[in-house]
Amino acid sequence: MRAAGPRPSMASSASARTAEGRVPRSFTMPQRGSSLAGKAYWAMVQRVALTAAAIDVGYILLFLWLGSVPLTAVNGVSIAMYLAAWWLIRRRHDTAGLVLIWLEVIGHSALGSLLIGWDSGFHYYLLLFIPTIVIANTRGFAAPLVLALLMYYLGLQALCDHVGPLAPLPAPSVKLVNQLHICLVFGMFAALAAFYRRTILTAEARLRKQATLDPLTGLNNRGHFQTLAAHALARSQRDGAPVALLLCDVDHFKRINDQHGHAVGDEVLVGVAAMLVRNLRESDVIARWGGEEFLALMPASPPEAACATAERIRAAAEKTPFGARDGAAIAMTLSFGVAQVHGADDLQAAISRADTALYQAKHAGRNQVRLG
Looking at this protein, which amino acid is placed at residue 290?
G
pLDDT reported for residue 326? 67
Residues 159 and 195 placed together within one structural domain of the fold: yes
Residues 147 and 198 placed together within one structural domain of the fold: yes
Residues 189 and 159 placed together within one structural domain of the fold: yes
6 part of a folded domain: no
15 part of a folded domain: no
Phi first, then psi: give them for residue 366, nearest 5 degrees. Answer: 70, 175
Residues 202 and 262 placed together within one structural domain of the fold: no
Q: List the CATH number of the domain containing 300.
A: 3.30.70.270
Domain count, the chain: 2
16 part of a folded domain: no
Residues 203 and 226 placed together within one structural domain of the fold: no
pLDDT reported for residue 4? 41
Residues 243 and 352 placed together within one structural domain of the fold: yes
Q: What is the pLDDT along the chain (372 residues), one digit of tens a residue?
A: 334 444 444 334 444 433 344 444 444 455 554 455 567 677 878 888 898 899 999 999 999 999 999 999 999 999 999 999 999 998 989 889 989 998 999 999 999 999 999 999 999 999 988 887 887 655 678 888 899 999 999 999 999 999 989 999 999 999 999 999 999 999 989 988 888 888 788 888 888 888 899 999 999 999 999 999 999 999 988 888 999 999 999 999 999 999 889 999 999 999 999 999 999 999 999 999 989 999 999 999 999 999 999 999 999 999 888 876 767 788 889 999 999 999 889 999 999 999 999 999 999 999 999 998
233 part of a folded domain: yes
pLDDT reported for residue 30? 53
124 part of a folded domain: yes
pLDDT reported for residue 47? 84
pLDDT reported for residue 197? 87
44 part of a folded domain: yes
Q: 208, 240, 255 — which closes off a domain?
A: 208
The Cα-based distances of 244 to 240, 276, 296, 302, 305 in angstroms read 13, 15, 8, 6, 9
Q: Residue 168: which domain range?
A: 28-208
